[in-house]
Homo-oligomer: A and B are copies of this chain.
Amino acid sequence: MAAPVVAVVGGGQLARMMAPAAAALGVHLRALVEEPTSSAAQVICDSRVGAASDEAAIRALVAGSQATHGRRSAAPAADTPEGVSAEARAADVLTFEHEHVPNALLEQLVAEGHPVRPDAAALVHAQDKIVMRRRLGELGVPCPRWVELPDAAALEAFLAQVGGTAVVKTARGGYDGKGVRIVRSVAEAADWFAASQADGGSGIPLLAEEKIPFTRELAVLVARRPSGQMRAWPVVESVQVDGVCAEVIVPAPGLDPAVARAATVLALEIAEGLGVTGVLAVELFEVPGTGGGAPTVVVNELAMRPHNSGHWTIEGSMTSQFEQHLRAVLDLPLGESTARAPWTVMVNVLGNGLVDPVDALAAVTALDAGAKVQLYGKSPRQGRKLGHVTVMGDDLTEVRARAAAAAAVLRGATSR
């Protein structure tokens, strides 16, 4: 057999961080990237420029036979066992680093015999929050109270029902806090209603959720193979700032072991129940127990791909989420997913004006020779995820402080 070929839709940092795992496994990675200079295109040689919504681009990505932007497109194929270069071969599987792919096309590809993982039937739950909430309800998974919002009257009624504050979301297309708004009146969502009802109601549907009085946010990352094998990483605490992940602490400090087990079982049940293949991130709210009981968890969001809450696994676990995702979509046995250190903390490096974190490589290691830096090769822009830092150790307070200090240096703070 020749090297397995994995085609991935998307050219961001998630596809980029699949590249080292693919190289280690001898897997040929092929990416559909937004631009020739996209984050992933810098490190995935077989990158092809095209839109995730472009049927022809996706088909070419899967087929592999079409002319490619790849360096080796004109290369002699003599070194491959069966005489066909990896660039020219059809992908063994199509996967994703984001959910913005037309589902009808994915169904067609599967019907034509091309494995798509996760498949359209699973992926829709990460694409459409109404479908997700409906299905999680059927599975008996704890969720916030929620309601579809066909019109403003529905929000009016829901606000009355949940005590005056609701979280309004667009069913599709949101990420990093976009497409989410906390409202106390219909007026505060008027623009979204107008947009959703545009073109005779063909806009993006809305839903409203009760605002959960959570104590903190947790996340569980699991991976599942088509053959059913699953593995989970430890439950993490995810600290969000303005709807964007800022810090991930592994394991979630002080988490009741029973709650950790329950959260993990929940994530595995969701992966199984939705038929997910690949990595699934389940974002949770931790809610205080009633009457002195143990806390409980409520599902906030799902993502069916490597996720920011799992970046710590690159150095912090024996198997990174990126390797595990490749393993899962290729239906290879999954690797060990325990944490390698008592405490691991990951801090995102968000864009700070025109500061380029690559300029701080010397300063950050001079400050902390044990801080692991991952940069994404992106142009600096305010608030953009440009990289992250991971620190491991025995003392949580120290590990958090080190990770924060290293990230600050990468954002341009002057080190000591």
A→B interface (CB under 8 Å): 1-4, 16-17, 19-20, 23-26, 28, 35-37, 41-45, 47, 69-72, 75-81, 85-86, 315, 318-319, 327, 332-336, 340, 356-359, 361-362, 365-366, 369-370, 372-377, 379, 387
Contact = CB atoms under 8 A, between A and B. Distances in A.
Contacts of A75: 36-37
Given A69-B71, A333-B365, 15 more contacts: A2-B356, A3-B358, A19-B19, A19-B43, A23-B42, A25-B375, A26-B357, A37-B77, A37-B80, A45-B71, A71-B71, A327-B365, A332-B365, A334-B369, A336-B370
A37 B76 contact: yes
Given A20-B20, A37-B76, A379-B81, A335 B45 contact: no
- The copy count of this chain in the complex is 2
A28 to B, nearest CB: 7
16 contacts: A16-B23, A19-B19, A19-B20, A20-B23, A24-B373, A36-B72, A37-B72, A37-B85, A41-B71, A45-B71, A70-B71, A332-B361, A332-B362, A333-B369, A335-B369, A335-B370
Contacts of A334: 365, 369
A36 B366 CA distance: 38
A78 B336 CA distance: 42
Main secondary structure of the interface of A (DSSP, over half): loop
A79 B377 CA distance: 10
- Closest 4 A-B residue pairs measured CB to CB? A26-B375, A20-B20, A36-B75, A37-B79
Contact of A336 (B2, B24, B369): B369
Contacts of A332: 361-362, 365
A365 B23 contact: no
A35 B80 CA distance: 12
B377 A36 contact: no
A35 B357 contact: no
Contacts of A335: 365, 369-370
A340 to B, nearest CB: 7
Nearest to A386: B26
Most chain-B CB neighbours within 10 Å: which of A362, A369, A374? A369
Nearest to A37: B79
A278 to B, nearest CB: 16
Contacts of A47: 45, 71
A369 B324 CA distance: 11
A357 B25 CA distance: 10
A356 B25 contact: no
A145 to B, nearest CB: 40
Contacts of A17: 23
A68 to B, nearest CB: 8
A139 B229 CA distance: 58
Contacts of A379: 79-81
Contacts of A81: 356, 379
Nearest to A365: B333
Contacts of A45: 41-45, 47, 71
